[in-house]
Amino acid sequence: MIHPTAAIDKEAILGKNVDIGAYSVIEKEARLGDGVVISPYVHIRGNTEIGSNTSISTGAIIGGNAQMLGLKENNGRIRIGENNVIREYVTVNASSSPEKETLLGDHNFLMAFSHIAHDCRLGNNIVICNGTLVAGHVEIQDKAFISGNVVIHQFVRIGRLAMIGGLSRVNQDVPPFMMVVGDSTVWSINLVGLKRSGFTNEEILTIKKAFKTLYASKSTVKGALDKLKEIDSKYVKEIINFVSDSKRGVSGPKRSTFIEKLFLDYPYFIWSRIETYGLIKSEVVPAIKIFSINNKKEGGYGEDLDRG
């Protein structure tokens, strides 16, 4: 199960049924659990522990030095849980000191070219899409979904079951169950994620009420939290605790300029609620037929249009 061209240090610890591809490098003090699959050209640095049944694809570098000025040696640590999928050319950096750890939980999916910096803490069942960059000391909680080419500022926290839209820039905390699009802007709740996780309609309505209180009212953050405390829900309490513990502040509501509303928000709002097939069937097709008939009567180009 180990390719003859793989370079494995004698002090590396390998579990049962480990598969290591061609030209991969496993350094001293690395620990690979049972059933770990390492594709060709992967580099596993020292002080790295990888849980069982985790697969790491071609070109990934796990446990590299923290990208910090003045750091001369790699003495950090990294611990990865079980059943993770780490795709091509992903980089996960070790912690900034041996007293700390970069942590990844279980059942996470890190897509190609994503980057996890030093001292990050990721929970379980997280999806991070292609090209996303996660800076140092970021915390991402369970079942969060981070879309492609997102950049997350250091020390930011992403709450449980939050969703970050593609190309977003996140520089403040994102409360649980919320959806961010753009520049740290909370647009709505993560409705799809909540449904997929088995939340009932009543629970979703309660979370939606919390969203409106926090983001769609004119209350201050403190005033909104006081109102939320009146709601008897463990999910609302989770939001309250998350916001109360924030040190960077939480991502804000959507406040657009008139131009943004006219050309971005309103068109997005309208088209996101129109069933395209229904529109074509009920409006566009009859309009074309009427246009064709009228032009035929007037001797216009309706005949050619009708043939098309």
User: Cβ-count burial of 288 within 10 angstroms (0-12 exposed, 13-18 middle, 19+ buried)?
Assistant: middle
In this structure, is the dihedral angle defined by the CA atoms of residues 228, 213, 121 and 95, taken in order, positive or negative? negative
Q: Scanning the structure block, which residue is given the tokens 């069933």?
A: 275
Rounded Cα–Cα distance for residues 26 and 47 (Å): 11
| Active-site position among 33, 64, 105, 119 | 119
Q: In a 3-state reduction of DSSP, which class is residue 151?
A: strand
Instruction: Note the residue count of the chain.
Output: 308
Q: Please name the residues in contact with 253: beta carbons below 8 A apart, sequence gap of 6 or more.
A: 185, 186, 215, 216
Which candidate in 51, 76, 105, 136 is catalytic? 136
CA distance 109 to 111: 6
115 is catalytic: no
Catalytic annotation, pick one of 43, 107, 118, 137: 118
Q: How is residue 36 written in tokens?
A: 């770990």
Provide the CA 158 distance to its chain's centre, in angstroms. 9
Please give the Cα distance from 78 to 224 (Å, whole number). Answer: 39
**Could you report how far apart the first and last alpha carbons of the chain are, in Å?**
60
State the greatest distance between any 2 C-alpha atoms of the chain, in Å, as a whole number: 88
Coil, helix or strand for 172?
Answer: coil
136 in catalytic set: yes
Helix (H, G, I), strand (E, B) or coil at 124: coil
252 catalytic, yes or no?
A: no
Active centre residues (catalytic)? 118-119, 136
